[in-house]
C-alpha cells in the first residue's frame, strides 16, 4: 500500500488530500467550501454539493496515480443519518445550530457526558 486518499470534511472547508506512504509527502488535491444551507427544517450542510466535489476530486486523483485506501475524517460533531439504502433521512445538521438545545425534551434524551464524551452546548 502506498497512496492514501484522505477526505477531510471540516466545518468551513472540505478537502481531498493525497498521502504517499513511501515518501511521507502530503498533497492537497482539491478544496471546496462547506457551506451551511438555510433552507429546509434547520441549518445544514449541502451533502449533494460535497458528494459532487468529492467524486470529481477522487476521479482527478485516480488519474494521477492509484489509490490504495481511503480515510475519512470530519469535524467532531458531524453525523449523517441514513436509511437501509444509504440515503440521508434528514439533512446533516450544522452543529452550531442551537435547535436541539432549545428543546426541553432533548436534555432527557441526550446521553450523559460520561457516555458520549461530548458536553452539552449552550450557544449564546
Report how far apart, in Å, the C-alpha atoms of 8 and of each of 12, 16, 77 are: 11, 6, 14
Are the C-beta atoms of 67 and 21 separated by less than 8 Å? no
Are the C-beta atoms of 28 and 13 separated by less than 8 Å? no
In tens, the pLDDT along 58-112 reads 999 999 999 999 999 987 667 788 999 999 999 998 888 877 777 778 778 888 8
List of domains in the chain: 3-114 (3.30.420.40)
Q: What pTM does this model have? A: 0.78
In tens, the pLDDT along 23-62 reads 999 998 899 999 999 998 999 999 999 999 999 999 999 9
CB-CB neighbours of 17 under 10 Å: 19
Burial of 68 (0-12, 13-18, 19+ CB in 10 A): exposed
Amino acid at each position: 500500500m502506498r497512496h492514501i486518499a484522505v477526505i477531510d470534511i471540516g466545518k468551513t472547508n472540505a478537502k481531498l488530500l493525497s498521502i504517499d506512504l513511501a515518501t511521507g509527502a502530503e498533497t492537497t488535491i482539491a478544496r471546496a467550501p462547506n457551506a451551511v444551507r438555510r433552507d429546509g427544517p434547520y441549518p445544514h450542510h449541502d451533502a449533494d454539493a460535497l458528494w459532487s466535489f468529492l467524486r470529481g476530486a477522487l476521479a482527478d486523483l485516480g488519474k494521477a496515480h492509484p489509490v490504495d485506501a481511503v480515510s475519512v475524517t470530519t469535524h467532531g460533531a458531524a453525523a449523517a443519518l441514513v436509511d437501509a439504502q444509504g440515503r440521508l433521512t434528514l439533512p446533516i445538521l450544522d452543529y452550531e445550530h442551537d435547535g436541539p438545545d432549545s428543546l426541553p425534551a432533548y436534555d432527557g434524551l441526550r446521553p450523559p457526558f460520561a457516555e458520549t464524551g461530548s458536553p452539552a452546548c449552550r450557544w449564546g
